[in-house]
């Protein structure tokens, strides 16, 4: 007989391990937010003066007029290393990432590193903060714990998205196709067209269905609590290996969101008989048009985002559900002893007797 067994990894076993002490840190702050400036200056100054780390920031940060006029920032400004998005390669230069702001800062970190991503520690200084579990009040103690390796990790899977153009396939041009990794989702929609989207969906080469509606969301478990949940999808813990497929306003009463295994390849293309083209965006960026004959290939990337936990994988996620989305918030039902109007009645009361009492009261 053949006995098949499978080992399921406990998410709690995912711990941060430094093979060498981290020396370089990238600090990403929320843009156009005055409230983040002072925490940013405090953190950068502390990392340089107390931890003797090499701190990288984006070049645009150095040009911020509010920071230039900050006395504390002028002390450390000359010691900062800078990079320019889209021009400088940070691969193998960064050991550690700290984000100050909202969920967008973590998405930006994912965008900057299209292969291996350093561990990310995200402080909640934004509006929602579902992906940013750390509070800034005692940042010195929290960062020190992380630098010493005392932290749990959540490996957030990403999706590799490749656009294959019809002309590229026919002409075999050398122009590289759009190839991006997304942390939340890739969205295919009807754009400015008044007509329904008509999109064909394939899974590992097999035609699954055609989507008629406003569009389609293909998301990671991390992205399940973003656009997908607003479109009616379930919320999936980020440690679950899966890809979510969620229709946007489908013109069908039976098209429910589905979950497919991580590792399969999804192919999305504009149906040949579609009245219009479609548009695609990647984590809300790089929006471009999909024409007839073009296709979008989506599969799970081998490069996740290692997100550092404030507590652990389970506590952080359920705390975010409760605090950010108010999951299952309801006024509790009263105990029978608390209902004074029922304490005077017994189980032997009949409807007739209760009706008679109501008539006397009236």
What CATH number is associated with residue 230?
Answer: 2.60.200.30
Helices in 8-138 by DSSP H: which ranges? 37-49, 59-62, 65-68, 71-76, 103-112
Dist CA 100 CA 96 (whole Å): 14
Handedness of CA 234, 16, 124, 329 (dihedral sign): positive
Percent of the chain with pLDDT over 90: 73
Measured CA to CA in angstroms, residue 223 lies from 8, 44, 105, 158 at distances of: 23, 30, 15, 9
Does 57 lie in the same domain as 110? yes
Q: What is the pLDDT of residues 91-130, one digit of tens each?
A: 899 999 999 999 999 999 999 999 999 999 999 998 888 9
Question: Each residue of 124-178: pLDDT tens digit?
Answer: 998 888 999 999 999 999 999 999 999 999 999 999 999 999 887 666 655 678 8
The predicted-structure confidence for 251-301, as pLDDT tens digits, reads as follows 999 999 999 999 999 999 999 999 999 999 999 999 999 999 999 999 999
The reply to whether 265 and 317 lie within a common domain is no
**Mean pLDDT for the chain?**
90
Position 74 scores a pLDDT of 85
Report the alpha-carbon distance of residue 69 to residue 57 in Å, rounded. 17
**Are 103 and 123 a contacting pair, CB within 8 Å?**
no
Query: If we measure between CA atoms, which residue out of 191, 161, 179, 212 comes closest to residue 291?
Result: 191
Q: Where are the alpha helices (DSSP H) in the chain?
A: 37-49, 59-62, 65-68, 71-76, 103-112, 139-147, 166-171, 227-230, 313-324, 340-343, 351-361
Q: What is the value of pTM for the model shown?
A: 0.88
Determine, yes or no, domain membership for 331: no
Domain total for the chain? Answer: 2
Tokens linked to 215: 């569009």
* Beta-sheet pairing, 242-248 with 215-219: antiparallel
Give residue 170's pLDDT: 60
Which CATH number does the domain housing residue 119 bear?
3.40.50.10330
Catalytic residue list: 103
- Write out the residue range of the structural domain in which residue 115 sits: 24-152+309-322
Whether residue 215 is found in the same domain as residue 297 = yes
Residue 40 lies in a domain: yes
238 φψ region: left (φ > 0), alpha (ψ -120 to 50), beta (else): alpha
């Amino acid at each position: 007989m053949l006995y098949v067994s499978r080992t399921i990894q406990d998410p709690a076993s995912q711990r941060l391990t430094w093979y060498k002490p981290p020396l370089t840190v990238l600090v990403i702050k929320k843009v156009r937010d005055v409230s983040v400036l002072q925490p940013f200056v405090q953190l950068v100054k502390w990392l340089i003066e107390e931890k003797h780390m090499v701190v990288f920031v984006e070049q645009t940060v150095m040009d911020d007029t509010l920071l230039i006029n900050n006395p504390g920032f002028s002390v450390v400004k000359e010691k900062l290393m800078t990079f320019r998005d889209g021009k400088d390669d940070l691969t193998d230069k960064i050991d550690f990432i700290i984000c100050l702001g909202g969920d967008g800062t973590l998405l930006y970190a994912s965008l900057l590193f299209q292969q291996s991503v350093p561990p990310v520690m995200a402080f909640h200084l934004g509006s929602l903060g579902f992906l940013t579990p750390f509070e800034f009040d005692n940042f010195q103690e929290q960062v020190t714990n992380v630098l010493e390796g005392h932290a749990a990790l959540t490996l957030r899977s990403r999706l590799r998205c490749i656009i294959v153009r019809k002309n590229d396939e026919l002409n075999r041009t050398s122009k590289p196709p759009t190839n991006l990794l997304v942390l939340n989702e890739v969205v295919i929609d009807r754009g400015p067209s008044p007509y329904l989207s008509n999109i064909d969906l394939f899974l590992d080469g097999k035609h699954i269905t055609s989507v008629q509606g406003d569009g389609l969301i293909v998301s990671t478990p991390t992205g399940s609590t973003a656009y997908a949940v607003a479109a009616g999808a379930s919320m999936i813990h980020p440690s679950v290996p899966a890809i979510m497929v969620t229709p946007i306003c489908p013109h069908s009463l039976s098209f429910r969101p589905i979950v497919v295994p991580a590792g399969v390849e999804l192919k999305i293309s504009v149906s040949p008989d579609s009245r219009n083209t479609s548009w695609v965006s990647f984590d809300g960026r790089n929006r471009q048009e999909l024409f007839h004959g073009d296709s979008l290939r989506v599969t799970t990337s081998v490069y996740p985002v290692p997100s550092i936990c404030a507590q652990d994988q389970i506590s952080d996620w359920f705390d975010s559900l409760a605090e950010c989305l108010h999951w299952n918030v309801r006024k509790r039902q009263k105990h029978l002893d608390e209902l004074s109007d029922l304490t005077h009645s017994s189980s032997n009361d009949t409807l007739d007797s209760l009706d008679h009492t109501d008539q006397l009261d009236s």
